[in-house]
Amino acid sequence: MLTLVTLVVLVIGAVATLGFMVYAGFPTSPSRWFAFFLFAAWALLPYALLATAVRWRPSNRVSHSVLGVAAALMSGFSILGLYSAFVAHPDPQSALVLVFLPLWQLVGSLPFLGMSRYLARRTEVERA
């Protein structure tokens, strides 16, 4: 159940990210669609990485809880940041958020991924 909740939170964050991308500028020509898909792939990479980690982790409740917290923080702060950049305080440089936010998400998720891996391995050792 925890895995499902975590994946739903990640899907909400990913859909919100795509929604803000479309809100920021819907592509009108084929060349812009190509750039849109490249930016979408980059923007969704942290969500895909965390979803993959959630699916591949052993059934350890504590390990999944750490990944759930990471998903909630990543999705929540991303939605707030994108809302601030594109809706609340629009600026000509707001699109740079789409370049740097995935990088910050990847760096921010690394401690959670490491902690989840450590807790999963520790539990496996304790069971053996």
Q: Does 59 have pLDDT greater than 70? A: no
Q: Does 34 have pLDDT greater than 90? A: no
pLDDT band at 32 (very low <50, low <70, confident <90, very high): confident
Q: For all residues of the chain together, what is the average pLDDT?
A: 89
Burial of 54: CB neighbours in 10 Å, binned 0-12, 13-18, 19+:
buried
pLDDT band at 56 (very low <50, low <70, confident <90, very high): confident
Q: Cα dist. 113→43, 59, 74 in Å?
A: 19, 15, 13
Domain ranges of the chain: 2-127
CA dist 85 and 94 (Å) reads: 5
Q: Does 57 have pLDDT greater than 70? A: no
Q: Does 7 have pLDDT greater than 90? A: yes
| Residue-level pLDDT at 90 | 87
pLDDT in tens, 67-105: 999 999 999 999 999 999 999 988 888 888 989 999 999
Tokens coding 69 = 């917290």
How many other C-beta atoms can be found within 10 angstroms of the C-beta atom of residue 50?
28
CA dist 57 and 1 (Å) reads: 14
pLDDT band at 110 (very low <50, low <70, confident <90, very high): very high
| Residue-level pLDDT at 70 | 95
Q: Does 128 have pLDDT greater than 70? A: no
